[in-house]
Amino acid sequence: MSVEVSKSSLTEVFIAHRVQLQGLARRIVGTIEHAEDVVQDAFLKIVEGACAARVDKPFGYCCQVVRNMALDHYRRQSVESAWRTYSDDGELPQVAGGVVPEREIDDRRKLVAVDRALDTLPRRTRMAFELYRLAGMTQREIGQRLDCSATLVNFMIKDAMLALAGCRRLMDE
């Protein structure tokens, strides 16, 4: 049988069991400070009428409101702490991946400059350079792959290095 409980009696039950409700919240959120915040928010929710008007067990209902709000708080804190960064010195904090946004933009700008310089080279020269620098192949292996001599591969790599000489200034910045 459902008993109609007024907001004032629900408020009285909440106040009378506040310490127990804080204990319930603390077990979920971890600290007494966060538990007090959760209990305060739950109290306001009940007082402002955002909760049900019909309650069979007022204390059980208060516990359920506090529990739900504590779980919401815990989940929100978990998500926020995964993305939050702190900086004591006021500098731009490191973001996920350990890269400062300005540095990442600068690095991309450098890569674009290198790519443009390599685009000015003949396709075979660029391929020889990439195989040498990125794939770690020897000049002899590159020569076999491109069907040319190791000496020609040496000259192609030298041409690529000359084309990239203009990018060295960017790399030193």
List the chain pLDDT tens, one digit each, 173 residues: 444 555 667 788 888 999 999 999 999 888 899 999 999 998 888 887 756 567 778 888 889 999 999 999 888 888 777 666 656 655 555 555 555 677 778 888 888 888 888 889 999 999 999 999 888 899 999 999 999 999 999 999 999 988 888 777 766 65
Q: Give the Å distances, CA to CA, from 40 to 25, 30, 34, 73.
A: 11, 16, 10, 12
Q: According to the model, what pLDDT value does residue 2 have?
A: 44
Report which of 153, 151, 113 is spatially closest to residue 129, judged by C-alpha positions.
153
Tell me the CATH class for 7-83: mainly alpha
Return contacts of 57-62, CB within 8 angstroms, 24+ apart. Answer: 58/5, 58/9, 58/10, 58/13, 59/13, 59/17, 61/10, 62/10, 62/13, 62/14, 62/17, 62/21
Residue 107, amino acid: D
CA gap 132, 124 in Å, rounded:
12
Q: Which residues contact 165 (CB under 8 A, 6 or more apart)?
A: none
In CATH, the architecture of 101-172 is Orthogonal Bundle (1.10)
Domains 7-83 and 101-172 share a fold: no
Q: What are the extents of the domains in the chain?
A: 7-83, 101-172
